Amino acid sequence: MPNTKIAGIGFYVPEQVVTNHDLMRHMDTTDEWIQERSGIVERRYAKRHEETTSTIGAKAARIAIERAGISEEDVDFIIFATLSPDYFFPGCGVLLQRELGITKTEIGALDIRNQCSGFVYGLSVADQFVRSGMYKNVLLVGAEIHSMGLDYSTRGRNVTVLFGDGAGAVVLQPTDEPGKGVLTSKLHSDGSYAEQLAFINPGCHSGYHARKMEQDIDFGYDEDAEFGGLFLSKKMFDDGMIFPNMDGQLVFKTAVTKFPEVIMEVLEDQGLQTSDIDLLVPHQANLRISQFVQRRLKLSDDQVWNNIQRYGNTTAATIPIALCEAWEAGKVKDGDLICLAAFGSGFTWGASLIRW
């Protein structure tokens, strides 16, 4: 049975740079406050009415496809990871297929909704397809446009200052080289705190989860209304319920526990140690989280790649963007052991080991 290698990789970030000072014009914050809590200096925002999650995903995909030495028509399956799809439905997978001009081949397209862990989850799924021989050229894309759905008032600053737009993509192919390619992946989830990092409204829940939970969460639905479902109410707008919400302390506390655990899990699965890692590419959620994990695992600065300072958190796109940047910078070389790890909404988390 063959292993799965990354045959081509690419990324795209929009041209518009938005600095912390730019955000200061819209909310009560400072550059020092943002950098101290997240490490972020700037992020990219897509062009309104010109760029969407699927179109920037296509730009990254074309680079990955070219570097893999294949054409768009050679792609035989698409996996698209995002939390910011163009539409509620259909998913971005089919829109990417159309954008790439490969609808005639009628290949399958799968959408992954695991937010920050989406790329790692997608890599694990693609790995199984390639190993089994079902597909030979799987296109995996992680792309996000957060800028269209954030709260740019002081009320929303804790979330808004963290996120940016961008896309990354890889082409996955079989390899018979011994010990090369994806070595292992481990995936986990715990839905106990699902609403603590979530985009709840609008949704089709009609307040169901609020009645189920011990804590009092108001989802903005009128209990006495005859009909309930997917709609926008005045209360949702007034209370800022149409924007993402996050319990930052809980997310940080959980992330710095689960990140090292799952990294050690994939290493132990292969009989390896942290000293064997040539490069850790963590999900770029917060520079403080990455630094905490680095210290916990006793990794050197040369063993960890961070770029959140320049792009912010692009959720499902952070790992492929960072991995591609590291590769372009010569930090990823033939034979290197690469560890990818992510934690995010759900909560979901996972890690993969790749021998380049």
Tell me the fold of 181-192+247-355: Peroxisomal Thiolase; Chain A, domain 1 (3.40.47)
What pLDDT sits at residue 211? 64
Q: Are 175 and 230 in contact (CB under 8 A)?
A: no
Q: Are 20 and 34 in contact (CB under 8 A)?
A: yes
Please check the confidence at residue 237 and state whether its pLDDT lies above 60.
Answer: yes
Distance CA 292, CA 289 (A): 5
Q: Are 129 and 182 in contact (CB under 8 A)?
A: no
Give the pLDDT band of residue 30 (cuts 50, 70, 90).
Answer: very high
- Mean pLDDT computed over 233-240: 71
What pLDDT sits at residue 195? 84
What the block records as the tokens of 187 is: 């995936």
* Superfamily the domain 3-175 falls into: Thiolase/Chalcone synthase (3.40.47.10)
- Mean pLDDT computed over 107-129: 97
244: region left, alpha or beta (phi > 0 left; psi from -120 to 50 alpha) = beta
**pLDDT tens digits, 156-209:** 889 999 999 999 999 999 999 999 999 999 999 999 988 888 887 777 776 777
Please check the confidence at residue 55 and state whether its pLDDT lies above 70.
Answer: yes
Distance CA 170, CA 124 (A): 13
DSSP β-ladder status, 197-198 and 245-246 = antiparallel
Q: How many CB atoms lie within 10 A of CB 237?
A: 13
Catalytic residues: 116, 283, 313
Report which of 152, 201, 140 is spatially closest to residue 45, judged by C-alpha positions: 152
Please check the confidence at residue 232 and state whether its pLDDT lies above 70.
Answer: no
Of 194 and 261, which is predicted with more confidence? 261
Q: Are 259 and 281 in contact (CB under 8 A)?
A: no
Domain segments of the chain: what residues?
3-175, 181-192+247-355, 201-238
If DSSP codes are grouped into helix, strand and coil, which group holds residue 79?
strand
Buried b (16+ CB within 10 A) or exposed e, 216-231: ebebbbeeeeeebeee
pTM of the shown model = 0.93
Q: How far is CA 114 from the centre of its chain?
A: 8
